[in-house]
């Protein structure tokens, strides 16, 4: 069975860019290569959001697979391309921080420079897609690549607890309007959120374990999501729309610490 190639990008679906990358993969590795879309709806140029999708998707992809991640606002610049190996899975991406959220151990290599025929505005097709296909055909190709000792990493949003206040960042708003926070599901061992601080006043939060457990009042659901982080949500409604929340927003929650 052919090695599958998964693709993540900020190219959207209104142009043919994604199809051109797929064509480059199939032309190199064979027309029966499985090519699967993860998402192409990353906000344009938002490397942090791309890093989030990469981190949440990779653990569920088969070992030996190759993921082509292209969110590349620096395309055509002097930034490198990289190949990475994480828990049995390969990644091809620009060296711009897309691998930031992947925990160690992580091996990285520098990709060869683009050929003279490569379009300087579309390395996704002319460089990265071809490299992804090559890895799918020959995983040992990395032995010919130069190790990349210090790949570019960007600052990953954290959460901070001070007294009875917690601050965090919205990493992503999904299709349902759920607001995914920079709080991993293993983090809140001693803090129980009670309210979200907004300009219009505090909004009560209801800690629950599933979306259907909606309270009778106007509380926003606070729960562990399937992507490894806590979420703010509403059953059947968009929490992001009601709260006017977008990715990147910094939020403040109040609550109680069990040791306070």
Task: Report the distance separating Cα 46 and Cα 117, nearest Å.
Answer: 27
Is the N-terminal amide bond of 105 cis, ω within 30° of 0? yes
Token pair recorded at residue 76? 């055509």
Rg from Cα positions in the chain: 20
Per-residue pLDDT, averaged over 238-255, amounts to 95
Least confident residue range of 4-8, 94-98, 199-203, 216-220 = 216-220
Surface-to-core class of residue 190, CB atoms within 10 Å of its CB (0-12 exposed, 13-18 middle, 19+ buried) = exposed
- For 136, the 3-state DSSP assignment is helix
Per-residue pLDDT, averaged over 108-119, amounts to 96
Overall pTM > 0.85 = yes
Higher-pLDDT residue of 1 and 97 is 97
Q: Is the pLDDT of residue 75 over 90?
A: yes
Residue 218 pLDDT grade (very low, low, confident, very high; cuts 50, 70, 90): confident
Give the rounded percent of residues in the chain with a pLDDT score beyond 70: 99
Taking only the tens place, the pLDDT of each residue in 21-46 is: 999 999 999 999 999 999 999 999 99
Task: Report the distance separating Cα 125 and Cα 127, nearest Å.
Answer: 6
Distance of CA 257 to the CA centre of its chain: 30
Contact 179, 231 (CB under 8 A): yes
Residue 243 pLDDT grade (very low, low, confident, very high; cuts 50, 70, 90): very high
Taking only the tens place, the pLDDT of each residue in 130-153 is: 999 999 999 999 999 999 999 999
Higher-pLDDT residue of 122 and 259 is 122
Pick from 240, 164, 243, 165: which is nearest to 203 by CA? 243
pLDDT at 190: 82
Contact 94, 47 (CB under 8 A): no
Residue 174 pLDDT grade (very low, low, confident, very high; cuts 50, 70, 90): very high
- Domains annotated on the chain, with CATH: 5-147 (3.40.50.10790), 160-257 (2.40.30.90)
């Amino acid at each position: 069975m052919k090695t599958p190639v998964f693709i993540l990008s900020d190219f959207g679906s209104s142009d043919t860019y994604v199809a051109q990358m797929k064509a480059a993969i199939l032309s190199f590795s064979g027309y029966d290569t499985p090519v699967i879309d993860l998402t192409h709806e990353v906000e344009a140029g938002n490397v942090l959001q791309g890093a989030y999708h990469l981190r949440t998707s990779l653990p569920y992809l088969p070992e030996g697979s190759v993921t082509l991640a292209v969110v590349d606002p620096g395309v055509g610049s002097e930034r490198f391309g990289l190949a990475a190996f994480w828990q049995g899975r390969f990644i091809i991406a620009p060296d711009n921080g897309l691998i930031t959220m992947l925990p160690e151990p992580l091996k990285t290599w520098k990709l060869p420079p683009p050929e003279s025929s490569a379009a300087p505005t579309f390395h996704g097709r002319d460089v990265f897609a071809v490299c992804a296909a090559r890895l799918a055909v020959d995983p040992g190709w990395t032995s010919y690549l130069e190790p990349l000792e210090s790949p570019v990493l960007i600052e990953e949003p954290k959460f901070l607890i001070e007294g009875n206040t917690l601050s965090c960042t919205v990493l992503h708003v999904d299709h349902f309007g759920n607001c995914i926070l920079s709080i991993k599901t293993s983090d809140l061992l001693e803090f129980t959120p009670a309210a979200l601080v907004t300009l219009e006043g505090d909004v009560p939060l209801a800690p629950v374990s599933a979306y259907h457990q909606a309270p009778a009042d106007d509380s926003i659901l606070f729960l562990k999501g399937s992507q490894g982080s806590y979420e703010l949500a509403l059953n059947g409604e968009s929490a992001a729309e009601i709260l006017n929340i977008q990715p990147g927003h910094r939020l403040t929650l109040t609550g109680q610490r069990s040791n306070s």
